[in-house]
Structure 1
């Protein structure tokens, strides 16, 4: 794919562009006027030579980007990603999680909530991604919850994915000073964490790295991996980097 010029602390934006360029897109999804203009540019960028260095100033203007993210300042790539997806209303990265809360004993009281999500924000408390996701979806026990009669009860809170996104984005939360290497699969089966049986197998498309206040990204193209670091596009011949660099964001796309 094309690479992007760093206009001064814009590595976070360049990483977002590579996420979009390397993720799956359902062209049948209805788009807003801004979304149509956005993907018109994205499709043109996909047609450029991989050696092209593109200056994204046109994209800044289209999105009125610097109104939200000040020019020349350092910004968080995940925060910017969430803002971008909401701004262009891109359903290719959105799914739904249903939450169920029910009292442990009778008389039973319960409620359900269906929440849209753009990424799973996972705390790194284990050395494997699957165990971290298990923690995210584990049942929470809430004590001293007051029911409709003002009685203190024990409440059980569970959640699961009930609409799978085309592209599943996972943020790995951990302190910058004590980052851990997390083992994550090239193919991820999310069936144990969702209520639907279709499109539960995903394959890894991109891995965002945050190191020394700089962002870069590994992306898969066909059967090969490339490192995108602003203007640089470097082919990677081994998967050793997966075991050497703590990931910040993982982007999976479902297997068609």
Structure 2
């Protein structure tokens, strides 16, 4: 199928899952994960109606943003953040979903160009203590949220998480439910919080049924990434 057809199918799946969960229409946003995808594929998805795109690697993202600057795309940074990359991230993205420590939040606020307005932030939480995953622990998350909320050039929007992969729907939902409970506690504390970014191509239905407001989908939209895409990115770094 074409990217436009894939997009329609994903949108229908989101609508069906939202309806099944008894949630409001249009309460879930689709973020197209475009890392390792060619510019023409992003352009095709945009022309089919997709406006939000997520990138994980700055060296790949900056040329894409420059090439597609004529399109009103909302760019989200969703990858691990190194301190020496915060200035470029703060200058080129509307959202940063992967803020996992105070040092990064401070630098993003200090380096955000004033003419761009506040940078939208979701704090990334590693709720299940995976050693291979980025994210603040459950004991660190509250201090991080407090700090983000106090920064003049940051707009705290909520949480992002990448829970461990599970083979069963029940196990997926159990994890997502714990994240939803935390999200509701945070939402009651911070007035501007409205985003729970969780769920990807393989588990977005479970995530929606457990309260996700934003799903991050790449493979289901664009197809499989090239086998050697990580090596290609390293070569361009």
Identify whether the pair has TM-score above 0.5, normalized to the shorter chain. Answer: no
Normalized per residue, which structure has more strand? Answer: 1
Normalized per residue, which structure has more helix? Answer: 2
How high is the TM-score relative to the length of structure 2? 0.31
Of the two, which has the highest radius of gyration? 1
How high is the TM-score relative to the length of structure 1? 0.29
